[in-house]
Amino acid sequence: MNGAVLAFALRRAAATLALLLALSLLVFALLYLAPGDVARNLLGTRNVTPEALARIRELHHLDEPFLAQYWWWLSHAVTGDFGTSIRTGGQVGPLLLDRTGVTAATAGLAFLLSVLAGVPAGIATAVRRGRPLDRVIVAASVVGVSAPGFAVGLILLYVFALGLGWFPVYGTGEGFLDALWHLVLPAVALAFGLGAFVVKLTRAAVIRELDQDYVTFARGRGLSERRVLRLVLRNAAIPIVTSLGLMVAYLFGGTVLIEVTFALPGLGSLMEESVLFKDIPVVQALTLVVALVVSVTALAVDLSYLAIDPRVRARAVRR
Amino acid sequence: MTEGPVTEGPVTEGPVTPLLDARDVRVTSAAGVLVAGIDLTVAPGETVAIVGESGSGKSMTARALTGLLPEGVHATGRLELSGQAYDLAARTPWQRIRGSQIALLLQDPFTSLSPVHRCGEQIGWALPRAGRAAGVARLLAEVGLPSEVAGRYPFQLSGGMRQRVAIAAALAAGPGLLIADEPTTALDVTTQHEVLELVAGLQRARRMGLILITHDLRLARARADRIMVMYAGRLVEEGPAAEVMDRPAHPYTARLAACDPPVTHRLPALPTIPGSVPRPYAVSDACAFADRCDLAVEACRTAEPVLAEVAHRPGNSGHRAACVRPSDVRPVAAPLLAVPPAAAVPPEAGLSPALLTVRGLTKRFPGSAAPALDGVDLEVAAGEAVAVVGESGSGKTTLARCVVGLERADGGSVEFGGGATGPRRVQYVFQDPYSALNPGLTVGASLAEALKAAGRPRSEVSGLLDLVGLPAAYARRRPRALSGGERQRVAIARALAPGAEVLVCDEPVSALDVSVQAQVLNLLSNLRRDLGLTLLFITHDLAVARQVADRVYVMHRGRVVETGPVGGVLGAPAHEYTQRLLASVPAATRAE
Amino acid sequence: MKPVKRRMKRRPPVVAILSAVVLAAVAVCAAGRELLAPHALDQDVYLGVVGAGVEGHLLGTDQLGRDILQLSLAGARSALAGPIVVAVGSMVIGVLLGTFAGYRGGIVDMLAGRYADLLLALPSVLLAIVVAGLVGRGYWVTVAVLIVLFSPSDVRLVRGAVMEQTPRPYIESARILGIRPTRIMFRHIAPNIVPIVVANLLLNVAFALVALSSLSYLGLGVPPGAPDWGRQLADGRALLGDNPLAAVVPGVLIILTATAVNLLGDWLSELLDRRVVAR
Ligand SMILES: Nc1ncnc2c1ncn2[C@@H]1O[C@H](COP(=O)(O)OP(=O)(O)O)[C@@H](O)[C@H]1O
Ligand code: SF4
Ligand SMILES: [Mg+2]
């Protein structure tokens, strides 16, 4: 049993690794996608002398075949060596590390907020399907899904920071509490759209389960409504966990815009600056890191099925 | 015919206060009335069967009595349970009623248990926390399951075992009345028999009332003390089971019983009921059956007949019918047609050369342990009708699909008139009439396309419709405007469009009500006679096989275990499995 | 239980009508931009930033002295044209590829599946930022990039819907009758997945609007100076103190338009669903 589960986990991990490998190829190709000469792109706006170009060519093995270059880049990337930033001239790895904290905190806070608010709201609306509360929350969630985070962020800034003065306008603050205080508005702006998705998905999942025969049968044999709800939630957990995994990818798209809006020095704003500056090594590194996080989340979701869905467990064992 | 079942429980009259006494139960949806006010009583230990075709309101009645109506559907009426009266239209304290007084068992054991909870847990929820494990083990033993089933998940059990688990769960809170809505319809015949026996035993042991909802009149007769017949949301007849079945007082009951084919002999043509069931809310101020009744008179169309005691017959107890001419109703005898059964039988197999030859067919689906087909040999002569019978999972459908090329066999051969299966010479009729036709195309367009594929002109559409007994105007309709039986006719017409010689029919009538089933079976038999059609007919229903086929193959676990002329195999089965199949048919147990 | 057929009680779809009105207004602005907002790009640098209510500038001006009202009306075009092209384009790819992959299976399916896996492993907005930033800055180039990035989820959607239809008896009957595969795919299967396609098309329009304005908010996509709500927001960020409407008006417009499209999509999918159930 345990061996089979382990084999299942390993198989899924291998598939994730293969996907990441393919993605890294795609990411490496970014360098070639950008219009213009690769060496020039890597030099950026620094003074372009023939010697500098030659040095870059040699440094990046640009005269070798594409796959050899890719291998060279990848073998360094896995050790955390993503080369030097064109813009700052510094190492990319430390630059990323430096910026990770803010992003992790904002995204984590937003994720927490949206799950803590979205899942209960989704359940409440599903149970009260068609009643006024349901209508109001569903309407609000459509607005949430439709509103880009930066627009929400600007409105929040205007109302709560500039207007009411409850929150700081920009920056990250000093010390833990102050830092948290600075992150509230960005996290809320990010959580607004995310939470709306969570509400929609949770509601749909719970409604689907409520319509199943086993719910009717549970009631038909006299189980209490609380028991029935627990039964439903246990079954709805499977699709809900899946969608929470998907949320992580969504979170990364949103965080770029939020960090730009709130001038937070995180990975997102680093991405924006690097893209605008065509700082390709940084962009490559960032994209690869995001791909890694997203695929590892997907893997975690897959593995969590082993715990929450006995059918998946059985299938894993049978193979 | 023997007498009705011997029951230990008291029958209707008598001093015992009924367990359940429901008055004027009426169910309405936005569309209108679904159940038009029926009265129902059940005594302790009594079995009341509610029978009727699909859509007659059986399930809605059961749901109304348990407060489990779907959204948008409401009930009115009075419900008295062990002396306590409730108003169905008001807020009924269902929490106190369900479980300990009434439990509802559903049809499909595959969906009625939570897939992610262990069976023991699901049974245990209704038990007090203390001693739960012991209680679960006791209940499992009561339904004839070993105690380790408690640790299994539903998907690890067979259909019959799941239904046993569901029964254990339903009985956990010790209800005085069990309502079972088609509890065995989703199960195989042999399992059906076992589950019904189990329920009967439990009922006796617990002196429980039972409302058995079924579409199967024979099953009702074999299991129930009283039968209530529903038609279009109305109660049209009720009374002691044997009385209702042997001396029906409503034409619908009489004719419905006659539609059910016997397993013992072949009828030249099955009795049918022309037309189809009206929507319950489409009937007003008339007998709901009037359009299909050959006894109908003027009075039938001016007012709805009320349920009245069938008084003129001696010794009836609570036999009531909603008909203005109850005394003119006679049981419908097997039709005495001029054509003797032999005439319907085509030339003996072996005389004409085999049109379809299957040799050593094997097939294993990836991921499954046992093969679906394990070396099947089969032969069908031109003009012959051959039935393949067996339980679900025995490989019948896989065989049929391999024959028409929808599935590729792993080994063996399918040969057709000497060569491999030719295009369009073999056609297929599917089980589910509702998905057999493209919902977006009109009947005419579907048929025209089939004709065109075979290079025949569109003008033949009306001829095809005529062939299957549908008016030419149906060409303009879409499938959604057709009943199940009509859809199945169109599907047959489409299969005939390319001039098929062999029709492979996979359970073509098992999704249909008996009255409609009879119509479709008669149609197939006429087509055979008129077009010289060859049939390979897949069915789980031995009685249907008896009516349709000349020869029969019995399949079990991917193998043919017995074959021969249908009369011989079903009359004197040689294989143990065939004997078991036959023993499970309610008709066989009753009609010696 | 059979699904409830609510045929009798049908309230007028107020929400859908309101959404349609909003979208019609946006569409009119987009089509008649030259007529409705002829002065959208007129700069009045002497005036500088002014707040709402100044004569001739109902909603004030931005940092270049452009009238916010005119600019916002003019921004309707890039808010509608691009998203519609993105949604339609990616759905065309989705239907073609998804139908083939779903019906045929095999190598086409395998390749389509891997392609989708690859692109879906990255957040599409992020990828759009990267590609649009590195490749080019034209509006229509960005639209093309979004088509590519949106298509995998459409391919998956259509493929799933097709695979649900394929084992149905009516399709298998057509196969046994010897009807050509292309005809089965596009005459039998395609019409039956229209509800899913149409509903998703609208949801994609909303999503593309959000994505495109996100890009222009970051300075990608539309060229500098062009009237566009996302870009207006980016510019308005610095003006929150002087004329907050410079940011609030385009922000509300984006939210309003996207919400209207989403609501219309939800309504339509429910309606079409009911149709399918009814038959
Ligand atoms: N959820 C529902 N809402 C409204 N009407 C329904 C619903 N389910 C079934 N019906 C209608 O109720 C009538 C009776 O159905 P039902 O009780 O299920 O019949 P039976 O169990 O006898 O087959 C039918 O006309 C059917 O169309
Ligand atoms: S009342 Fe009339 S129409 Fe109805 S069943 Fe009796 S005879 Fe037939
Ligand atoms: Mg029913």
Q: Give the position, in ligand 1's atom list, of the atom nearest the Cα of B56.
A: 22
pLDDT at residue A178, as a whole number: 72
Q: Give the position, in ligand 1's atom list, of the atom nearest the Cα of B58.
A: 22
Q: Where are the domains of chain A?
A: 2-77, 92-277
Mean pLDDT of B505-523: 89
Whether residue C99 is contained in a domain is answered as: yes
Paired tokens of B255: 């004719």
Q: Which of B119, B203, B127 is nearest to B165 (CA)?
A: B119
* Beta strands in chain A, from DSSP E residues, in sequence order: none
Report the residue of chain B nearest C173, measured CA to CA. Answer: B428
In this model, does residue A277 exceed pLDDT 60?
A: yes
| Complex confidence, ipTM | 0.84
pLDDT at residue C276, as a whole number: 55
Backbone torsions φ then ψ of B227, nearest 5 degrees: -120, 135
In this model, does residue A131 exceed pLDDT 90?
A: no
Angle (CA) C254 C257 C262, round 5°:
120
Which chains border B (3 or more CB–CB pairs < 8 Å)?
A, C
Chain A residues with CB under 8 Å of C217 CB are: 148, 150, 257, 260
Rounded CA gap, B428 and B408, in Å? 16
Ligand 2 site, residue B283, Cβ cutoff 6 A: no
In this model, does residue B432 exceed pLDDT 70?
A: yes
Q: Any chain B CB within 8 A of the CB of C182?
A: no
Report the residue of chain A nearest C257, measured CA to CA. Answer: A146
Mention every residue, 6+ apart, whose C-beta is less than 8 A from residue A267. A96, A99, A100, A102, A103, A255, A259, A286, A289
Question: To the nearest whole angstrom, how far is the Cα of A292 from the nearest Cα of chain C?
Answer: 9
Whether residue C35 is contained in a domain is answered as: no
Report the residue of chain A nearest B106, measured CA to CA. Answer: A217
Range of the domain at C255: 77-278
Put simply, the answer to whether A222 touches B99 (Cβ < 8 Å) is yes
Task: Return residues 220-249 of A near B (CB < 8 Å).
Answer: 220-225, 227, 231, 234-235, 238
Q: What is the pLDDT of residues B100-121, one digit of tens each?
A: 999 999 988 889 999 999 999 9
Mention every residue, 6+ apart, whose C-beta is less than 8 A from residue C139. C78, C82, C221, C222, C223, C226
Paired tokens of A21: 């490998």
Q: Any chain B CB within 8 A of the CB of C178?
A: yes
Question: To the nearest whole angstrom, how far is the Cα of A316 from the nearest Cα of chain C?
Answer: 22
Q: What is the pLDDT of residues B336-376, one digit of tens each?
A: 443 444 434 444 444 567 888 899 999 988 877 788 899 89
Task: Return residues 484-523 of B near A (CB < 8 Å).
Answer: none
pLDDT at residue B179, as a whole number: 95
Chain B residues with CB under 8 Å of C8 CB are: 30-31
> If you ran DSSP here, which 8-state letter would residue A161 be given?
I
Q: What is the C126 CA–ligand 2 centroid distance (Å)? A: 73
In this model, does residue B590 exceed pLDDT 50?
A: no
SS3 B37: strand
In this model, does residue B321 exceed pLDDT 50?
A: yes
> If you ran DSSP here, which 8-state letter would residue B479 be given?
G
Name the residue with the closest Cα to ligand 1, atom 21. B59
Whether residue C215 is contained in a domain is answered as: yes
Rounded CA gap, B230 and B238, in Å? 9
Whether residue C54 is contained in a domain is answered as: no
Name the domain count of chain C. 1
Q: What is the C35 CA–ligand 3 centroid distance (Å)? A: 63
Q: Give the position, in ligand 2's atom list, of the atom nearest the Cα of B300.
A: 2
Architecture of domain A92-277: Orthogonal Bundle (1.10)
- The distance in angstroms from the start CA to the end CA of chain C is 16
pLDDT at residue A61, as a whole number: 72
Q: Give the position, in ligand 1's atom list, of the atom nearest the Cα of B72.
A: 3
Put simply, the answer to whether B112 touches A223 (Cβ < 8 Å) is no
Task: Return residues 11-70 of B near C (CB < 8 Å).
Answer: 29-31, 59, 70
Ligand 2 site, residue B229, Cβ cutoff 6 A: no
User: Of the bound ligands, which one is closest to the alpha carbon of residue B181?
Assistant: 3
- CB-side neighbour CA atoms (13 Å) of C229: 32
User: Any idea which of A135-144, B2-11, B96-105, B369-378 has the lowest mean pLDDT?
Assistant: B2-11
pLDDT at residue C44, as a whole number: 67
Report the residue of chain C nearest B508, measured CA to CA. Answer: C169
Q: What is the pLDDT of residues A1-10, one digit of tens each?
A: 577 778 888 8
Put simply, the answer to whether A217 touches B95 (Cβ < 8 Å) is no
Q: What is the pLDDT of residues B459-499, one digit of tens each?
A: 889 999 999 989 999 999 998 888 888 999 999 999 999 88
**Radius of gyration over alpha carbons of chain C, in Å?**
22
Rounded CA gap, A295 and A14, in Å? 11
Q: Which of A99, A105, A259, A254 is nearest to A180 (CA)?
A: A105
Put simply, the answer to whether A23 touches C118 (Cβ < 8 Å) is yes
Mention every residue, 6+ apart, whose C-beta is less than 8 A from residue B369. none
Rounded CA gap, B457 and B9, in Å? 66
Residues above pLDDT 70, as percent of chain B: 91
Chain B residues with CB under 8 Å of A217 CB are: 104-106, 112-113, 166, 169-170
pLDDT at residue C278, as a whole number: 45
Its pTM stands at: 0.85
Whether residue C147 is contained in a domain is answered as: yes
Mean pLDDT of A119-138: 90
In this model, does residue B7 exceed pLDDT 70?
A: no
Report the residue of chain C nearest A33, measured CA to CA. Answer: C135
Rounded CA gap, C268 and B101, in Å? 45
In this model, does residue A294 exceed pLDDT 50?
A: yes
Q: Any chain B CB within 8 A of the CB of C177?
A: yes
pLDDT at residue B55, as a whole number: 85
pLDDT at residue A159, as a whole number: 84
Backbone torsions φ then ψ of A132, nearest 5 degrees: -55, -45
* Greater model confidence, A192 or C53: A192
Rounded CA gap, B258 and B264, in Å? 14
What are the 10-residue block averages of pLDDT along chain C, 279 residues in total? 42 80 83 71 67 66 73 81 93 91 83 80 81 78 88 90 89 89 89 87 91 87 81 80 79 91 86 60
Q: What is the CATH number of the domain that holds C196?
A: 1.10.3720.10
Q: How confident is the model at residue B16 (pLDDT cuts 50, 70, 90)?
A: low
Rounded CA gap, B403 and B553, in Å? 15
Domains in chain B (CATH in brackets) are: 20-224 (3.40.50.300), 342-425+501-509+516-586 (3.40.50.300), 434-500 (no CATH)
Chain A residues with CB under 8 Å of B105 CB are: 217, 220
Which chains border A (3 or more CB–CB pairs < 8 Å)?
B, C
Q: Which residues of A128-146 are buried (b: 16+ CB within 10 A; e: fewer)?
A: ebeeeebeebbebbbbbbb
Ligand 2 site, residue B323, Cβ cutoff 6 A: yes
Size of interface B-C (CB pairs under 8 A): 74
How many other CB atoms are there within 10 angstroms of residue B313's CB atom?
13
